[in-house]
Chain A
Amino acid sequence: MENLKYALYTGCTARESTPELLKSTLAVAKKLGIELVLLDEASCCGASHLQDFDDFLSLVLNARNICYAEKLGLPMVTICNTCQLNTAMTKKRLDENPELKAKVNEKLAEVGLEYKGTSEVRHFLYALIDDYGLENISSKVEKPLSSLNIAAFYGCHNIRPSELHDGSNLNENPYKPTSLDRLIEALEGNSVDYEHKNKCCGFHVDLQAPRTANLLSGHALLDAMDNNADVMVTPCPLCHLNLDVKQKSISKTVGRDINLPVIHLPQMIGLALGISPSDLGLQHHVTEVATS
């Protein structure tokens, strides 16, 4: 297989409150022989909040991020659903609107950059499945996850709006996504079927509407628990923060005890590849992950 190489847009969360996401992503890529070049010049994508305040600025900053992947001549991969959404949305808007692209490039020219539109932008999950291939991943499994019932939690921004992600997410159907479940099965884990796997965790209203966020996260966690999940896995660090860090608060809101480990996508893959739990950063989770 041809050596795979990507420009990695880490997003902010993997540099701060989920350090284990960056650590496990790099460890898994190394084990699979995938080369990742960190885009250290990149800024925040705006996480759909800057977009509410200053849409044009968010376009310029996201275009600048893509410029750095273009300069490397590499496709960009993201490891956060919301980064994926905002970067892909910027790319689509600029690629489809020459006038807007020219306005953005007028600003970028002031710092010696030009957005061309030559780098694809995909989430690591889909790059792994599409480019590396489930069969190849499966062939690298050293510790099958066969003893684990794993609940896939997709997160909104990888699957909706489906029109935006068409093609870059294997044409995932937002009403019945399958990628994570297929990956779980490739790692020989047991994929849990539950209704809330494609629902919202409420992260984006966590500050102004904590009850809403807690109820939405709580519904997903309880649904997974009631369907005998041992662990939940998500490709989005923002979902992870809500679902992992806030379980005590969510328990109070929904009136039931919740204690379900929520791991990142590369942590799940890394466990199956035989990478040690500490190298995957499993000790960083607020809801303890049993590693024995």
Chain B
Amino acid sequence: MSNTKKVTLNIFRFNSETDYLPHYQKVELEVSQEEVVLDLLNRIKWDIDGSFSYRRSCRHGICGSCAVKVNNKTVLACKERVFDLIDIFGTDWTIDPSSKSRAIKDLVVDKKDFWEKYNAVTPYLVADIDEHPECENIILPETAEKLEEADYCIQCGCCYYACPVIEVNEDYFGPAAFVKAYRFNADVRDNAKIDRLKTVDPIGPGVWDCVKCFECSEACPKDIDPQSKITKLHNQLFEEGVAENNVASRHAVGFKKSIEKHGILDEGMLVAYSEGCAVVKHIPEALEMFKKGKIVMPWNMPKSKNMDEIKKLVKISSTAKF
């Protein structure tokens, strides 16, 4: 069996100082089983076109600088094995910067918005620490475990540039900032939990705008699972009483109310409870749905069997307050 394969690469080329629009350069390479994407980028620069630009530094999956997209999959170029990509996509690849709209030169992007949002969540420990401590501030293993994998984030931006909300809502903080907010909120030594929660609570930039698509968790090269940290920030908002009473928080709480009453959701009442008076804006779509038999009237609202069980479980299992 051959240890090499031929791949065709369409490389994104753009110089923001001289080009009006980007173009793609086609490159064919014979690649071997041992190579990662960064090896191919290096070969293009060293052997084919010295003007080709991309970021790289540590070459060990630690610095996070070499994040690019291959056929829309965000990867760390130094970690992604070429034969693994061939298994997924075959041998025709398009290599793009992690964000085409932020490209400065070829695969190099301007991460200004990433860092601004990252900085906005107070991404460091806030604590009054004795300048001359008499002993170490020891953290027990079970306490450290609460940070989960959030500590391993290398700020590569893979999750951020994979997140679809980032492309349509310029205010949205994005998964990397949320992971960092969770990381320090889960640290027992930290004193800024409430402030961070107030930062991530507002609709628009905050956690309520997460679409729950798991693109971030899929993209993360360090297996941090940002989506689970976003869920935990939601939980903390309720636990700490920080969650504002708005359409999004009521929507989450409305599920419990509806389950307690019907077992399954009363979809109409859930929207009404979440929206409050603003529910009237849904009337045109509701009428369209009604005409097509997509709305259940209150007197026909189905219920789960054995409702007494469900009511009891809600009563004895629920601890969250709103």
| B319, A56: Cβ atoms closer than 8 Å | yes
| B292 and A53 within 8 A (CB) | no
The distance in angstroms between the C-alpha atoms of A48 and B251, with both chains bound, is: 11
Q: Interface-forming stretch among B28-36, B49-57, B260-268? A: B260-268
A residues with CB within 8 A of B: 11-13, 15-19, 40-44, 46-57, 60-61, 64, 107-108, 110-111, 113, 156-157, 160-162, 173-176, 195, 199-200, 202-205, 207-209, 211-213, 215-216, 245-246, 249, 283-286
Report B-chain residues with C-beta under 8 Å of the C-beta of A110.
Answer: 312-313, 316
Nearest B residue (CB) for A56: B317
Which residues of B are at the interface with A, using a C-beta cutoff of 8 A?
71-73, 88-89, 164-165, 168-169, 203-204, 208-215, 217-218, 225, 227, 231, 234-235, 238, 246-248, 251-256, 258-259, 263-265, 267, 271, 274-275, 285, 288-289, 292-296, 302, 304-306, 309-310, 312-314, 316-320, 322
Query: Could you tell me if A16 and B73 are in contact, using CB atoms closer than 8 angstroms?
Result: no
Contact of B252 among A16, A18, A53, A173 (CB under 8 A): A53
Interface contact B318-A43, CB-CB below 8 Å: no
Residues of A contacting B168 in the complex (Cβ-Cβ under 8 angstroms): 211-212, 215-216
Given contacts A195-B72, A207-B275, contact A44 B264 (CB under 8 A): yes
Q: Which of B209, B238, B264, B295 contacts A212 (CB 8 A)?
A: B209
**Closest partner residue, chain B, to A52 (CB atom):** B234
> Given contacts A41-B306, A50-B252, are A12 and B203 in contact (CB under 8 A)?
no
- Whether B217 lies near A160 (C-beta < 8 A) is yes
- CB distance B320 to A205 under 8 Å? no
Cβ-Cβ contact count across A and B, 8 Å cutoff: 202
- Chain B binding surface, main DSSP class: helix
Nearest Cβ on chain A to B283's Cβ, whole angstroms: 13
User: Chain A residues near B73 (CB, 8 Å)?
Assistant: 175
Residues of A within 8 A of B210 (CB): 204-205
Judging by beta carbons under 8 Å apart, are A249 and B214 in contact?
no
Residues from chain A with Cβ under 8 Å of B309 in the complex: 41, 64, 111, 113
B72: chain A residues at CB < 8 Å are 175, 195
Kindly state the separation between the CA atoms of A76 and B304 in the bound complex, as whole angstroms.
Answer: 17
What is the bound-complex CA distance between A207 and B231, given in angstroms? 18
Interchain CA distance A48-B164 in the complex, whole Å: 18
Establish whether residues A57 and B318, one from each chain, have CB atoms under 8 Å apart when the complex forms: yes
Q: Are A200 and B215 in contact (CB under 8 A)?
A: yes
B161 CB to nearest chain A CB (Å): 14
Contacts A52-B231, A175-B89, A205-B165 aside, 6 further interface pairs with beta carbons under 8 A come to A57-B318, A57-B320, A176-B88, A205-B211, A209-B204, A216-B168
The answer to whether A16 touches B302, judged by C-beta atoms less than 8 angstroms apart, is yes
